[in-house]
Homo-oligomer: A and B are copies of this chain.
């Protein structure tokens, strides 16, 4: 019961962030969307800052669980790298929830030191993972793998922000994947 309720609260947090942004992230709104009492939300998360941190941690954990399962299915280092990139860039499907939440967190990190600390460590980790995937996929590349990872991550973040903020009007899924494949080709 307790776990189910925590899960519902976290779902509500993410839904509110993805549809209405951090302005809407009040204890009262979260309780209403989750269908639980205000007291239940307060019991788990006391402040708006704690709500945001919890949502950030949850989105990250869900992403890692999903990407871990996806990468296991890929047959080669090249296809693992591509699958990871597709997910980070928000090109895996038409659901913009995750890229919207990431964009909202990035903007929050820009003006809030607590969120920034979390964001900085999360993005440093993502660049490290990307670097390892690049080194494994293209061990003979003459380019510096660290800079390759930073450049590729910029491409992925740029596509993700566009998917979130422009909702596919400039970068459709098809065009986004084509752009990504061009960036990956330049690593060969």
Q: Verify A154–B162 contact, CB threshold 8 A.
A: yes
Known: A110-B103, A111-B21. A123 touches B154 (CB 8 A): no
Q: Verify A100–B111 contact, CB threshold 8 A.
A: yes
The listed residue (B100, B106, B165, B166) touching A165 by CB distance below 8 A is: B106
- Interface majority SS (helix, strand, loop, mixed), chain A: helix
Q: Verify A151–B120 contact, CB threshold 8 A.
A: no
Q: Contact string, A175-188, partner B, CB cutoff 8 A, digits 1/0?
A: 10011001100100
A157 at the interface (CB under 8 A from B): yes
Q: Which residues of B contact A162 (CB under 8 A)?
A: 123, 153-154, 157
The listed residue (B104, B108, B111, B119) touching A111 by CB distance below 8 A is: B104
**Residue picked from A107, A164, A183, most chain B C-beta under 10 Å:** A107
Q: Verify A170–B124 contact, CB threshold 8 A.
A: yes
Q: Give the contact-size bracket for chain A.
A: 35 or more
Q: Verify B150–A157 contact, CB threshold 8 A.
A: no
Q: Verify B178–A127 contact, CB threshold 8 A.
A: no
Q: Verify A159–B154 contact, CB threshold 8 A.
A: yes
**7 closest Cβ contacts across the A-B interface?**
A154-B158, A107-B107, A158-B158, A157-B158, A21-B111, A109-B165, A106-B165
**What are 7 inter-chain pairs, A to B, with CB distance below 8 A?**
A21-B110, A21-B112, A109-B166, A116-B166, A120-B169, A155-B155, A157-B157
Residues of A within 8 A of B (CB): 18-23, 96, 99-100, 103-112, 116, 119-120, 123-124, 127, 143, 147, 150-151, 153-159, 161-162, 164-167, 169-171, 175, 178-179, 182-183, 186
